[in-house]
Structure 1
């Protein structure tokens, strides 16, 4: 079966930088470079959707947060100028409460979304300031509002009704999720959509994952 949606959890950027005796920002920069490589693979293999979990809500260390925001601004601007994005009509969406991030990042995200809003050949979703439990809570609130307004009967609430109000409402669930880092956890990523997804723990920092290893797992998944 052809793969329609692949997803990645980006972890251990800071740990990789520390291990390599590099600056913290270099760890994030290496991870964002990996996203570009994965985008090239996505297009090469004609996979319609790719979702990457970049940052959870409430990073605990101020220095990590500052370095991440700075590098995200650079990355958003680079994506907006990337010919690969425009030549292949890649629509970029940002999932999560990114609008609670610092203004400089909010503006760069808004600009990027606007630059690609008409594209529909490929889809790249970036999860920023994202929490999988909050995604479901927010969807439940939307359904509750419709119940209160008399637009839907509680007895008619279905799984599809919940899905329609998720951040990922426009996208089919991922076929496979690759989890980077040493910890074997899915970090609440795409909680609703991942119920039937294959989970692959890579046991490597995100920036160290070889593309050929991803391709190997995709080939194996296709044969299942």
Structure 2
């Protein structure tokens, strides 16, 4: 019949949907059993890519709506990570390079993150799940209202210790290393050391001590969504021994099954740390 589906096509779609949900559910449970049988990564880094691709595919045009969907996905990541026993997740939200985007788009990103941070402060489940929110990056790149929201989320969740979620916002790997070296030199200059003495003291360990969160363990696994296969400057110093996983799904529609697959891929690799 022209202009729409036939009765038979509609009936098939109605009957097939529960079958696919059943198959999907069985596969997810099988995958979860495999993942739970092996050690979990302690620290997972995620490059949140594909917001604009998803928007183009669905016809969404309003920046606040585009990035609001991405911010909402944070709830799933929190829930999945706590359930699996993962202790640390770092999410790359915004880089200095993103400042070259249109002003409305930048505002959409900042607005979505601010709204999400304020919602987390008021969410009783965050304390129940033991989620601690923190952030790294150049604060001078962020608007005051967003900084206030991030600070409020950090303060409200400071006592939680089951999962630490770090927002890398205003963050770039090169900027972090440059800032670390600058802070190191300033420290040594304050001690009255000569240039030769400073040069003798510079080492990977002394630089590491001046990174944004010096105590943060390196990520075991870094996941990038949207199909792009590059790190783009995410945790350049810390990722030297990280396992990398790239998936085609766009960030706003990342599924639990995609997260499980990434963890399974990590578990199947032999980590040699350069040896």
TM-score (norm 2): 0.76
Residue-pair matches, total: 224
Matched, 1:54 2:93: yes
Structure-2 separation of matches of 1:153 and 1:59: 36
Contact 1:55 1:128 in 2 (8 A): yes
Structure-1 separation of matches of 2:258 and 2:132: 26
Gaps of 5+ in 1: none
Matched, 1:11 2:49: yes
Shift of 1:124: 0.3
Shift of 1:147: 2.2
**Structure whose residues are more often helix by fraction:** 2
Shift of 1:135: 0.3
What's the CA shift string for 1:128-185, capped at 9, x where partnerless? 1111100000000111112223377432332221111111312111111111124322
- Equivalent residues in 2 for 1:78-157 (5 A)? 78-150=119-191, 153-157=198-202
Shift of 1:70: 1.6
Match of 1:207, SS state, is helix
What's the CA shift string for 1:77-110, capped at 9, x where partnerless? 1111222321122211111113431222121111
Match of residue 26 from structure 2 = none
Structure-2 separation of matches of 1:195 and 1:218: 18
TM-score (norm 1): 0.92
Matched, 1:159 2:204: yes
Shift of 1:46: 0.7
Query: Which one has a bigger Cα radius of gyration?
Result: 2
Contact 1:181 1:205 in 2 (8 A): yes
Gaps of 5+ in 2: 1-38, 270-275
**Structure whose residues are more often strand by fraction:** 1
Structure-1 separation of matches of 2:100 and 2:252: 19
